Structure 1
């Protein structure tokens, strides 16, 4: 599914730097009703990648921090280095040598696009070192290869917004068709990560393969309403559209007291509430930072009452995507 592009990599050399550090953001995928087709980028948390060019060809993953030893140092098995390999292979540059360090600054398995943030940071870094040969949009198929390695399916609802920033709609996967959506002014995301384990692969396997037409009609209407709300700068319409009758009823089982958390978030002033990605993180869209603090405080207080630790993040929508540190 890689984009066909006629590129002569010899026209540009690694003229920016021989070493670079990049931050790539966490993301909220699905945005409740848009399973695998909608996502947006956060300002925090995220991951950092340090990369340097070397004279010896090949990719070496030197160090990973913040992962408690859970991620492979094997360059072919780590999403960062594997996606970079796909990128260099596409450019026909076997002569390039790279040393990579990955610094995890966000929890693994959080439902906030942890593997996506790492992969995107690596791709953005190598693309900068190679002279910015590809656009952020053109990097998405390579990042999807990393997602395929991480969870068995190369979806784009994390990597596309992480690379492009803002809200992104994946209209089609074959051919890949990405649409950058506008962000209403003053929109915040309040995210809470309950420290429980919900593996992405397991969460995907729970989803029904067949659905009733009446449920599909409800879902189509909500996706259309959410996208319309973004274009119309209508936050209330966005909130009314944040309903999922297909995936959330199944995945919510894996999140302790999910419906109680939603009740608390809405009482605290949330516009809409749902699961971030495959969970266990949950998120609310709110109209201001103060409401975001009220929401995260209420959710964390309840989780603490049932002996579950949690982390919270309050962020405007990140329209920038990755950045050089």
Structure 2
């Protein structure tokens, strides 16, 4: 994506008074593509209600659905901090005032891109409020900065699909180079979030700094096979390719009943099964809604039998990304 486009000037006469935006949750890594692949889903997601006010500056009016865990300080909250960055980039931070209501519909620390959904919703909202002076491609670096603020690592595998929609490949970060990949029509995700705590920072610290060459070659082949399968809508190739030999063996230790859940999903006909992002959410990637729904139901029932509470989401790949409600 070209990051050198020039933003169009903001027409102050056409700035909206209020806008409400939804941005979707995402499944980062897509099992075998650590930090480079991800896809958006229809639900869950987060909403931002943004109001233009007379006093310049960016303020958070309220946050709901976060159980009091997120900061109301505009400099510390990723949504407001990124909105401030955008206004400063456009050179209008002293001329525009906005107040933000953040409505969380997804669990924090779920491995479903909670921080990225909020950040994308906020940036999409301010850009819409201002009459879209920036393209989605130009918004993306600001979204990545939001991830850096949220978890200390400015990766794009959540924010890229949340903003662009569909399945995205992060080819590189310097410069940021993102490619949208084809989405086979019948590709569905059966997602289950076991209510256990797996902080993103802790999950990243478990990852080995060095890997065996034979494992790296296997992983490269799987990533290439998955991308080829997406282009050909070859579900058999997608299934054979979605296996993670580098990250899953370590991170699975943090997720109770992981390998039992995996076998349940595969027995139910899922194409593949793995960890969403850093976990603890898991995903049964399936051909068709029925298989995804059945796999998720069986996994959730198993967790209930193990006295582990969980949430379930079943969705096709969301190809549109954020939307104005």
Counterpart of 2:153 in structure 1 is 153
Check whether the contact 1:48–1:102 (CA below 8 A) recurs between aligned residues.
yes
- 1:92 positional shift: 1.1
Distance in 1 of aligned mates of 2:182 and 2:80? 32
1:85 match: secondary structure: helix
Question: What pairs with 1:104-183 in structure 2 (closer than 5 Å)?
Answer: 104-183=104-183
Counterpart of 1:48 in structure 2 is 47
Distance in 2 of aligned mates of 1:140 and 1:77? 20
TM-score normalized with structure 2 length: 0.97
Counterpart of 1:100 in structure 2 is 100
Question: What pairs with 1:237-248 in structure 2 (closer than 5 Å)?
Answer: 237-248=237-248
Counterpart of 1:84 in structure 2 is 83
Distance in 1 of aligned mates of 2:299 and 2:73? 39
Check whether the contact 2:7–2:134 (CA below 8 A) recurs between aligned residues.
no
116-125 vs 211-220, greater mean Cα deviation: 211-220
Distance in 1 of aligned mates of 2:162 and 2:276? 14
Distance in 1 of aligned mates of 2:137 and 2:318? 16
Check whether the contact 1:113–1:158 (CA below 8 A) recurs between aligned residues.
yes
Distance 1:299 1:158, change over 3 A: same
284-293 vs 157-166, greater mean Cα deviation: 284-293
- 1:288 positional shift: 1.3
Distance in 2 of aligned mates of 1:185 and 1:82? 37
Distance in 1 of aligned mates of 2:56 and 2:15? 19
Distance in 2 of aligned mates of 1:16 and 1:269? 50
116-125 vs 14-23, greater mean Cα deviation: 14-23
- 1:224 positional shift: 0.5
Distance in 2 of aligned mates of 1:259 and 1:50? 40
Check whether the contact 2:8–2:133 (CA below 8 A) recurs between aligned residues.
no
Check whether the contact 1:191–1:296 (CA below 8 A) recurs between aligned residues.
yes
Counterpart of 2:23 in structure 1 is 24
Check whether the contact 2:19–2:49 (CA below 8 A) recurs between aligned residues.
yes
Distance 1:14 1:209, change over 3 A: farther
Distance in 1 of aligned mates of 2:87 and 2:256? 43
Q: Which runs of 5+ in 2 are unaligned?
A: none
Counterpart of 1:208 in structure 2 is 208
Please say if 1:58 is aligned against 2:57: yes
Distance in 2 of aligned mates of 1:88 and 1:4? 18
1:9 match: secondary structure: coil
Counterpart of 2:316 in structure 1 is 316
Counterpart of 1:305 in structure 2 is 305
Runs (4+) of structure 1 exceeding 4 A deviation are none
- 1:57 positional shift: 0.6
- 1:23 positional shift: 0.4
How many residues align? The count is 323
Distance 1:86 1:259, change over 3 A: same
1:240 match: secondary structure: helix
- 1:16 positional shift: 5.4
1:47 match: secondary structure: strand
Q: Which runs of 5+ in 1 are unaligned?
A: none
TM-score normalized with structure 1 length: 0.97
Counterpart of 1:36 in structure 2 is 35
